[in-house]
Each structure stands twice: as C-alpha cells, then as structure tokens.
Amino acid sequence: MRLRLAGKTPRWILVALLIAWAPAAAQRSTPDDTTSLIQAIDAKRESYATIAKQIWGFAEVGYQEVKSSALLQQQLRAAGFQVKSGVADIPTAFVATFGSGKPIIGIVGEFDALPGLSQEAQTAVRHAIEDNAPGHGCGHNLLGTGALAAAVAVKDWMAATGQKGTLRYYGTPAEEGGSGKVYMVRAGLFSDVDVAVSWHPGDRNEASPTSSTANITAKFRFHGVAAHAAAAPDRGRSALDGVEAMDYMVNMMREHVPQETRIHYIITRGGAAPNVVPDFAEAYYYARQPNMPILDKIWDRIVDAAKGAALGTGTTMDHEVTGAVYNVLPNEYLSGLMNRNLERIGGFPYTPEEAKFAEDIRKTLTDPPDVAIGSQEKVRPMRTGAVNSSSTDYADVSWNVPAVSMTGATFAPGVPAHSWQATACAGSTIGVKGMMVAAKSMTLTTVDLFTDPTHIQKARAEFDQKRGPNFVYKTRLADRKPALDYRK
C-alpha cells in the first residue's frame, strides 16, 4: 500500500493517515497465523506420536496414572508452563499455567485407561499384550497428548505475539467412572475460567453441540455370615444372596424407568468357594439418564432395592458412591466456532496399509459398521439436539463454565469405544492422524477466543440463558473424598 496525496497536505492529516495505515500494513506483512500454527504442530508430530504411544503403553487406570501424568507434566514444564501437581487431593491431577490476566482459557486433557482391554496396536486379531490388563480402549492416550499439542502451540503463539491472558492445561485423571473433574470443579480450579476447550477420540470428525447422559456409580457391599454350605447352611447368611436379590429387583425396575435410562452392573466379589456361605459380596453399578434430576430419583430407587435385598436376605449393606457426573450442557455458539476451525483443518486419508488394517478390524465387529471407510477424510455436518448415551465428567465442567468439545476420527470407521478394536486403533498411526486433526482444531479455536472477546461474550450469554437464573450446581460427591482405589 502506498499513500499518494495531491498538493500540500496538512501535517496533522498525514500523521492521522499513517497511524491508521500502520496496523493494517503490519498485519499484511505478517505470515498467516493459521498456517504458522498448523506448521508448528506438524513440526512436532513425531514427538507427539511418541508421547501418545508411551501413554498407550503405560495403560494406567483411573487415579493410578502415575507415569502418564508425570510424562505430560514434564512436557509442559519443558515448554514453559508453571505446573501445580496433586491438586484437588488427587495425586495424578495437575494444572499447568502460562501467562496472566484475562481471558482465561482452559484446555482439558485426560489419560486414564480401561480395565481388561489390553491389545496389540494396529492388529486386527484379538491378542492382549497381557491377559486381563488395562488398555486405552477410549483413546485417552491420544486425548491427553492432543490437548498437550494444542496447549504448547497456543503458548508459543502467545509468547511470540505478546498476547495477554492466561492459558491453562488441566490434567484430569479418572474420567472413566472416577469423576476426577468433579473434584477439580469442587476445588474451585475452574471457577475463573472463561471457556474450557477439549476433544474426544471417536470414529469420525465432528464438532456438534452434543449432550450426554448423567451418570451415578457406586459399589454396593453386602455383609453376611459365613458357614459350611452343606453341614450348617442354616447358620449362614449369604452376602451373595443379597447381591443377587438386589440385581433381580433392579432388573425388574427396567420396565418402569424412562426408556433413555441405562443401568448396568457387574458382580465384583461373589464369594471364595461354593461350599462356604459368602460373608461378603459386592456389586458395582452404573446408572445413566439424560436428565440429572430424573437420574437422582432413579438412583434412590436403586439404593432402596439394595436396602430391601439386605433386609430380605438377613444381611447388611453399605454403598460407596464412586462417581457422579451431569449430562453435558452443550454450547451451540462455541460448537459453531470449533466446527469452522475443524472444517478448515479437514480430515485425512489412510495409507494402503492403514486401509487394510481398517478393513480387517471392521470384520471383527458384531454388527456391520454404519459408516464407510473414507468418512475420516471428511467433517460430519454440524447437527443440534443429539444426545450420546455415554457419560463424561467434562459435563460438570460444562455446567460451571462455557465449554466446547469435538470428536476426532482416531478409530477406524464403525469401531466403538471401550473395545479391544479401539485399543488397537488408539495405538496406531490412524489414532495419531485423528489426534493431530483435533490438536489443530483446538489450537485455532483457542486462538480465536484469545483474539476476539465477542466469542467469549456470546458463549457466556448462551451459557447463562441455558442454565437459567436459579441454577445451583450440586453433586452427590460434595462431601466425599476422591475414590482413589475404585479400580483396585
């Protein structure tokens, strides 16, 4: 741009024109920020792939993610973040911070594995690395690492541009049933956050404003009287009878709850030997419902069934609530912002080897996949009103601050989470490709939030409207300590 002025121009006009022109000229002379940010993430691709594979190999279950948490903390410290570990009375929880002042944007990462889903990576045959060992069947090795990649990229951008504000990485353990984020919310760690940003592995690329089911989990423990099952059965009181009576009554309840409700359980302890009347037995229950007030009432009925089972079998019962999470409060404005960035990044193709792996692993599924290979190359159009039947403690964050999340295509199309097939994908090159799409999309979204205050204002307005003026956040975990041994 050149300034061309005819004749003699007053000095004050020249000065005014130069002041107005200078920022635009400087902006035009600066390389495109989007391109630079994406290139910065791509330059560290192999490093992030290695970190994701290391966490995949650790495969640590909730509240036991010692190595995974330490690795992520080390990476953040090396990148220039100030890290506070062991927050909210959880040894593996941490918060990493860069910058100061407003706005405050949080990027949320997870890193816990699931019991019993050990599986070799990028292998289409069921083969556990270690029998009955944990595995990353929900891809949280990718989730935590992708969030790390985004946080580092945004931090580097802030340092280079002098951008004001605070960036935080939240290291949140025990998402799978342990409600780690709920305790972090309860500790006030999100109280000053303007927006929280996250993602989750899946079998497609999507940033729709999707809700979820609220979830309450507990271990019901029955105590009876041991006796010889043949010689003196009358002297015994079977704790296993208590568990089975509870299970029977809860199963009858299924006909009399709203159809969106999900109730599932396992018997974790059923006795030591058939010829000994069990004096201890335990059942582990999950109950889900898209509406937390409705779920609260259903849960009270489940507890009553347990009490009745104990009364009817001559046993006693106590229960420990190990987790309780809300349904996600979606933010359509933030989802629209993230969706635009996801579309800018786009999907990715498979190599011939990856396509072969995807085809082979889809053949192991119980039902034919409902989505074709090649869908990972696209972004699913944004839709509203969807409710996933799964649950997440990120929901409690979403009821306390405006929050957004997306799905990255880390699993072969059609592969469900919480399966050995998902573990195989989460440790593969397919998983890394989906993770990189999410990292870039989160980075661009976070930069947008820092640079344009109207995004935060509009997101907050929708958040306040949806919660309503009389909303008060309550949780069944309000007076409980984190169940640090719930996976032991």
Give the start-end residues of each E strand in 326-385: none
Compute, in degrees rounded to 10, the torsion defined by CA atoms 52, 53, 54, 60.
80
Cβ neighbour number for residue 376 with a 10 Å cutoff = 27
Check: CB of residue 475 under 8 Å from CB of residue 182. yes
Say if residue 119's pLDDT is above 50.
Answer: yes
**8 Å CB contact between 437 and 339:** no
Residue 404 clears pLDDT 60, i.e. is over it: yes
At 213-255, the pLDDT tens digits run: 999 999 999 999 999 999 999 999 999 999 999 999 999 999 9
Domain residue spans in the chain?
38-212+328-467, 214-325
pLDDT at residue 12 above 80? no
d(CA 384, CA 365): 29
* Residues recorded for the chain: 488
Q: When comparing pLDDT for 14 and 463, which is higher?
A: 463
Residue 34: its pLDDT value, please?
83
pLDDT of 26: 34
pLDDT of residue 15: 37
Handedness of CA 6, 10, 16, 18 (dihedral sign): positive
Quickly name the fold that domain 214-325 has.
Alpha-Beta Plaits (3.30.70)
Give the per-residue pLDDT at 127: 97
How does residue 103 score in pLDDT terms, banded at 50, 70 and 90? very high
Calculate the average pLDDT of the chain: 93
At 32 the pLDDT is 59
Q: Does residue 181 have a pLDDT over 50?
A: yes
214-325 and 38-212+328-467 share a CATH fold = no
In this predicted structure, which of 15-24, 193-202, 460-469 has the lowest mean pLDDT?
15-24
pLDDT for 398 equals 98
Residues 28-78: tens digit of each pLDDT: 333 357 899 999 999 999 999 999 999 999 999 999 999 999 999 999 999
Radius of gyration of the chain (CA): 26
Alpha-carbon distance 246 to 304, whole Å? 9
Lowest mean pLDDT among 13-17, 49-53, 358-362: 13-17
- Give the tens place of pLDDT for each residue, 387-403: 999 999 999 999 999 99
Q: Does domain 38-212+328-467 have CATH number 3.40.630.10?
A: yes
pTM, to two decimals: 0.91
Which whole number is the average pLDDT over 107-126? Answer: 98
* Residues 468 and 293 sit within 8 Å (Cβ to Cβ): no
Exposure letters 89-127 (e unless 16+ CB within 10 A, then b): ebbbbbbbbbbeeebbbbbbbbbbbbbebbbbbbbbeee
User: CA 220 to CA 242: how far, in whole Å?
Assistant: 10
> What distance in Å separates the CA atoms of residue 458 and residue 450, rounded to the nearest whole number?
14
Range list of H helices, 88-213: 140-161, 180-186
